[in-house]
Each structure stands twice: as C-alpha cells, then as structure tokens.
Amino acid sequence: MKNARRLLLASLLVLGSCGVSVGDIKEVQEFGSAVQAMYPGVSLSTGITNGSKLEVTFTNTSYNDSSEEVKQRVATDIGKIAPKYFKVGKITSGEAIFENSKSTVLVSVTSTHSYDMGIK
C-alpha cells in the first residue's frame, strides 16, 4: 500500500510537470472505464497525447485480427462517446490503435494499425 501511494504521488508529480492536471487524469480514467465496459475482457489503454489527441490502444486482442471495417467501426464508436467525458474543445482528434506485439529472447516485434475516431 505504501509503495502504491509513492507510485501515485510520483506519477502525479511527473504528470503535473507535463501540464497535465488531476482533472485531466480523472477524465481519462472515466473515459477508459467506459471504453473497457464497451469491450470487456480486452486489453486496452487510453491516453491523451499533445494535450488534445485521444488514443485508445488495443494490444494483442481478437479485434486485431478483424477486418478493416470492424476496426473502423470500433474507432468510430469510441469517438462517439468521447465528448461525454472531456470538456468541450479539449479533444480535437482521436485514434484507435490496434497493436500486435510478440517477444522472443532476442527481439520484440510490434505492428500497429491506426483508425481515426472521427472526433470533430
């Protein structure tokens, strides 16, 4: 428990120095929970880059083997719920990223495909 508090404090200090507020963290956490509820049992992560680009990464999931149309639909569906969790104008774009990652003793190979969420 003590280590978890230290990790949280360190994370907040680092994020604070990057211009990320506690409100931003809360918005991303709530949005991430909503996306996880849409796709239960799927390994995914959410984040904001450059202060306004929303990214949701699906890592080694069954969706990675889906058709281009299915992946684009997933991205669009996520983009539709994003405005419910972020302040107006906060998010200007978004991508759903489907990542396949394989590691061996000597090398790691990662391939990604990105789809626009259609956030305006």
Q: What are the pLDDT digits (tens) for 41-71?
A: 999 999 999 889 999 999 999 999 999 999 9
Place of tokens 């972020």: 86
Q: What local confidence, expressed as pLDDT, does residue 23 receive?
A: 64
SS (H, E, C) 29-64: HHHHHHHHHHCCCCCEEEEEECCCEEEEEEECCHHH
Partnered with residue 114 across adjacent β-strands are 97
Q: What local confidence, expressed as pLDDT, does residue 3 receive?
A: 45
Average pLDDT over residues 103-117: 93
pTM over cut 0.85 = no
Q: Looking at the predicted structure, is the pLDDT value of residue 32 above 80?
A: yes
Residue extents of the structural domains in the chain: 20-116
Partnered with residue 97 across adjacent β-strands are 57, 114
Considering the domain delimited by 20-116, tell me its CATH architecture.
2-Layer Sandwich (3.30)
Residue whose C-alpha is closest to residue 92's, from 101, 82, 100, 81: 82
